[in-house]
Structure 1
Amino acid sequence: MITYSNLKAHVNEDSLQIRSSDVHNYHLDALKENDQLSKQTYGVVKECPFAELQYFDVTRAFPPDLMHDFLEGIIPIVVCKVITALHQLKIVTLNDINSELEAFTFGKNDRGHIPQTLPQSVLKRKLTGSAAQNLCLFRILPFLIGHYIPEGEIHWDIYLKCREIGDLILSPCIRKSIIPVLSFQIGEFLSSFQTVFPNTFTPKLHSHIHYPRLMLEFGPLKHLWCMRFEGKHQYFKRLSHNTCNFKNLCYTLSKRHQLRQCWELTSLDILHQRSYTEGERQVPFRSLPFDIQEGIALKSEVEDISKEEKVGIVSSLLTNNIKYKVGDTIIIDVVEEDIPIFMKLEKNHTVQGSLAYLWKMTDTQDIQLSLSCLFFGGPEKMGCC
């Protein structure tokens, strides 16, 4: 229950009146008495069609959508305002950012949504690109321009505060004890943003303050965003454009979609239950490094492995519906103070039908440690190391 003119005055929920079921029913009753006045006063236009459902509560059944709120609402505002300020202060220019962007090496998980070259419209608070591209740019921005930024730069500090919030609200798993910290960080970010950029404040920035309470109600909000629905919708948008048939578009889309589903479901391995490898080459067992030979002989179920036996070295493999590629880095554990432990996949081997992996442990600075692990199966079997 807040008006647009008072958005800037509140950076947390403590001083706000949250809509409840009883309050909302009162607003609906007021609509029947004076339609126009109630709309302007309470912001309720009409009753939700879903209200006819027995267990539906309009005030508690609509979690926020991080894709539209954060990726397409907050990130473009923060990135554009920060880049514009740094550009005007001549700390880093738009050409510098684009040059760094072109030279940046993207990982395989980001190659499908590499950010576009930033146009001049970015300086006018318009960030082009999809939600996934916005998130990718938001994540890699420190690697692009971090070395240009002087210590204590107040505009860059706004980005860092927003980045800390983004790491928490986009997390697939979060502890309840972190929620108060998130609430404090959001209040600090909104206060700093209003101080540095006093003329820019939108309802989506205000929506930040509700995230801690909503995460307690719904759990991690990333599981409830519209990204996957938009991905499915993209198929229909492409299909409508490619078929060029608009006489009965609904029939066309539903029929083509059903045919595609039938084709996919006829696959004998639709869920990739069987393992397969890519880029395999055969080498004699004796050509492997001695420590790997010992590890394979010790951990495999085969008692005697001939020195002349062929061993497969593969570039990638899929097992248990997970694809592992040489060079991949995964998190295997978290130690005290939430410090992650990383393992980097060095080699994949196939020995008489069994899969063997060679992993090297790395720290957060990507410095390889002396400990290496050789085991059969997948990372879920780390106990074999």
Structure 2
Amino acid sequence: MQKVLDGLDKTSIYRDKCIENILVEQLSITIYRLQVLREMVEIVLALPIRKSWLSYLKTLEIRFQCLLSALLPDKMSPKVHFCCEYSGIIRDFGPPVRYWCMRYEGRHFYFKKKALRTGNFKNISKTLATRNQYKHCLLLSKCKFLKLYSETSCVKQTKLSNCDGDVKQLLYEKFGIECLSSSTRILECQVLIHNHVSYKQNSVVVYDVIQSPSSITIT
């Protein structure tokens, strides 16, 4: 009887190990499939996209389709085939984020929310159009994008002598201001918005970019 029990224990242990190995293998394959899909999504949603990435994206597309066809042949849908066309679409039309349907979905969400809140379904088209016009009238009455203006934030007075050498040289060359007097004070701000351009302290402003042929991007 004891031998029979020992044999059953060994059989159960062997069975548990087999089940554990199968689960670990399936889990590792699932994680690998998700990693491939994640890399594809990162490239597809990138902006800008380099042309050198398209060949790698094509290999990811083929790898992902092969994994699904081998592991989940009954769960494959036409979308799996569509994902293999992203590299060609990006090569022909540019980054997908510039023409994807999420812009429409975001706009449609606003109108759907308004339709539910108003509760007026007799002439829903007129109701939504009227509410949308009211919203634009409110925004346009307060906006400043049609005007040239300057706006500052976090303004404080500081001594001119506390500025660094580059700032002193710039003030002298551009405006003829000598930074010799320790009593002279100027206004210093954290953010300056001038003619719709935001300037911040310690920020970097890029005026032009010189690209080599190997770093061509799709914008």
TM-score range, shorter chain: 0.5 to 0.7
C-alpha displacement of 1:209: 0.9
1:167 counterpart (42, 66, 86)? 42
Counterpart residue type for residue 294 of structure 1: G
- CA distance in 1 between counterparts of 2:189 and 2:119 reads 47
Cross-structure match for 2:202: 358
Cross-structure match for 2:166: 295
Provide TM-score, normalisation by structure 1. 0.40
C-alpha displacement of 1:224: 0.4
Identify if the C-alpha distance between structure 1 residues 319 and 171 changes in structure 2 by more than 3 Å, giving closer, same or farther: farther
Provide TM-score, normalisation by structure 2. 0.64
Cross-structure match for 1:238: 113
Instruction: Kindly indicate whether residue 192 of structure 2 is the aligned counterpart of residue 309 of structure 1.
Output: no
SS in 2 for 1:282: strand
Cross-structure match for 1:380: 206
Counterpart residue type for residue 152 of structure 2: T
Contact 1:180/1:212 (CA < 8 Å) preserved in 2? Answer: yes
C-alpha displacement of 1:294: 1.0
Tell which structure's C-alpha radius of gyration is larger: 2
Contact 2:69/2:76 (CA < 8 Å) preserved in 1? Answer: yes
C-alpha displacement of 1:267: 4.3
2:133 counterpart (258, 280, 283)? 258
- CA distance in 2 between counterparts of 1:267 and 1:208 reads 44
Query: Which has more strand, going by share of residues?
Result: 1
Counterpart residue type for residue 297 of structure 1: K
Counterpart residue type for residue 84 of structure 2: I
SS in 2 for 1:277: strand
Contact 2:40/2:61 (CA < 8 Å) preserved in 1? Answer: yes
The runs of 5 or more residues in structure 1 that have no matched partner are 1-87, 90-152, 325-347, 349-356, 360-377
- CA distance in 1 between counterparts of 2:152 and 2:48 reads 31
The runs of 5 or more residues in structure 2 that have no matched partner are 1-22, 210-219
- CA distance in 1 between counterparts of 2:202 and 2:208 reads 11
C-alpha displacement of 1:287: 4.5
C-alpha displacement of 1:210: 1.5
**Aligned residue pair count:** 179
- CA distance in 1 between counterparts of 2:193 and 2:145 reads 13
SS in 2 for 1:238: helix
Identify if the C-alpha distance between structure 1 residues 154 and 282 changes in structure 2 by more than 3 Å, giving closer, same or farther: farther
Cross-structure match for 1:132: none
Cross-structure match for 1:105: none
C-alpha displacement of 1:195: 4.3
Higher RCO, Cα 8 Å, sep 6+: 2
- CA distance in 1 between counterparts of 2:40 and 2:146 reads 35
Q: How big is each residue's C-alpha offset from its partner over 1:203-230, in whole Å with a ceiling of 9 and x where there is no partner?
A: 2222111222222332222110122222
Counterpart residue type for residue 295 of structure 1: D
- CA distance in 1 between counterparts of 2:146 and 2:77 reads 43
1:330-341 to 2 correspondence within 5 Å? none
SS in 1 for 2:48: coil
Query: What is the RMSD of the two structures over their aligned residues, measured on CA atoms?
Result: 3.2
